[in-house]
Amino acid sequence: MSTAKRIVLSSDHAAIDLRQTLAKHIADKGYEVSDIGPQTPESTHYPKHGEAAARAVAAGEADLGIILCGTGQGIMMAANKVKGIRCGVCSEPFSARMTREHNNANMLSIGARVVGESLAVEIVDAFLDAEFEGGRHGQRVDMITEIEG
């Protein structure tokens, strides 16, 4: 990798351990990692963590974002409310790769209570290794962006 991409990670309390494991894995791959999630297991609200990571990506402070909660669903919904964010929740590597290649997703969401650690690593690798294909997919991504207004 010639230029290290900046990756922001966040989660709620349900995914701290997996988030920290993924942050280390991503840093070991040569990416610049910003872990903005909670560090203690006290209950916290996933919408604020999804929004914070999404705002970092939307502002250009990070190239991509990876967020986690128990299912990956709620935190993904919060992130997708931020203009310019395309976040997919993925439970296997194929969808993670395709959401980058076909949907130009700039964020990935994972359910820490849905997938185990080694599968989560595979999902993250598939997401980070994929590149947007453009072409007919670009037209469709433009259509998604138009919905934002």
Residue 12 assigned as binding residue = yes
Is 140 marked as a binding-site residue? yes
Q: Is 60 annotated as a binding residue?
A: no
Residue 46 CB partners (closer than 8 Å, separation 6+): 11, 12, 69, 74, 75, 78
Q: Is 69 annotated as catalytic?
A: yes
Contact status, residue 53 vs residue 106, Cβ threshold 8 Å: no
Of 49, 87, 90, 102, catalytic: 102
Backbone φ, ψ for residue 53 (5° rounding): -65, -40
90 labelled catalytic: no
Is 134 annotated as ligand-binding? no
Q: Is 13 annotated as a binding residue?
A: yes
Write down the catalytic residue from 69, 87, 90, 137: 69
| 71 known ligand binder | yes
Q: Is 111 annotated as a binding residue?
A: no
* Cα–Cα dist 115/62, whole Å: 25
Is the Cβ–Cβ distance between 48 and 77 less than 8 Å?
no
Binding residues for D-ribulose 5-phosphate: 12-13, 70-74, 103, 113, 136, 140
Binding residues: 12-13, 70-74, 103, 113, 136, 140
Active site residues: 69, 102
